[in-house]
Amino acid sequence: MNFRQLKLACSIASISAAIFAGGVKAQAQTPQIEAQPQNNPAYVQTPEKVAQFSPGTTTRSGPSYIGVGGFIGFDDNSTLGDSAFSVISKIGLSRNFSIRPSALINDDVVFLVPLTIDFPVNDVANTGTQRLSVAPYLGAGVSINTDNDADVGFLLTGGVDVPVSDKITATGGVNVGFSGDTSVGLLLGVGYNF
């Protein structure tokens, strides 16, 4: 890894940390409505919903996490084709959405930054003493390759989170990158919930 790659990795990590630590809230503005007579049957005041984003929140698929894993690439000649060590994370943004930044570390570093829709946890098996649950997710985002050609490509992702305990989540997902050639890889990891 050269200095330019290290600088890019530090920049992305610091931006992610700032978003996570600072807490971002986006709220829709409610328009001011002039008071209407209460006896007017045509006047109905409905409360407006406020969209809130709070990084680190628990989504329908479970809590946010950070962890490590492995990436298995299926084509050695592409951006996502090499097998690599990975640092993974899930940062819940709202009840339904999360961002799942990952870094694939090999000779070069590849950053995956997908925005995902998280689906509710479903029981796959419940024996009475042990429960196996899965929480699927689907999303899209970008892949950022830091090699000499440093390129940015479109990324599709889908997978499942498996809550192992209150503090541990196992995850597995398929990533399809479109940066020049189409490349496919499998990401497997374990995360610590926060």
Burial (CB count <10 Å: 0-12, 13-18, 19+), residue 96: middle
172 CB-side CA count, 13 A: 5
* Distance separating alpha carbons of residues 170 and 182, to the nearest angstrom: 27
Contact at 8 Å (CB) between 66 and 81? no
Q: Phi, psi (5° rounding) for residue 83?
A: -75, 150
Give the model confidence (pLDDT) of 96-137 as tens digits.
999 999 999 988 899 999 999 998 877 766 666 666 789 999
**CA neighbor of 137 nearest in space, from 192, 112, 174:** 174
Distance (Å, rounded) from C-alpha 25 to C-alpha 114? Answer: 20
pTM for the model stands at: 0.68
Q: How far apart are CA 110 and CA 73, in angstroms?
A: 12
DSSP string, 14-45: HHHHHHHHH-----PPPPP-----TT-TT---
Lowest mean pLDDT among 20-34, 68-82, 101-115, 166-180: 20-34
Q: Which residue has the higher pLDDT, 49 or 81?
A: 81
Whether 29 has a pLDDT exceeding 50, the answer reads no
**Residue 189 φ then ψ, to 5°:** -165, 175
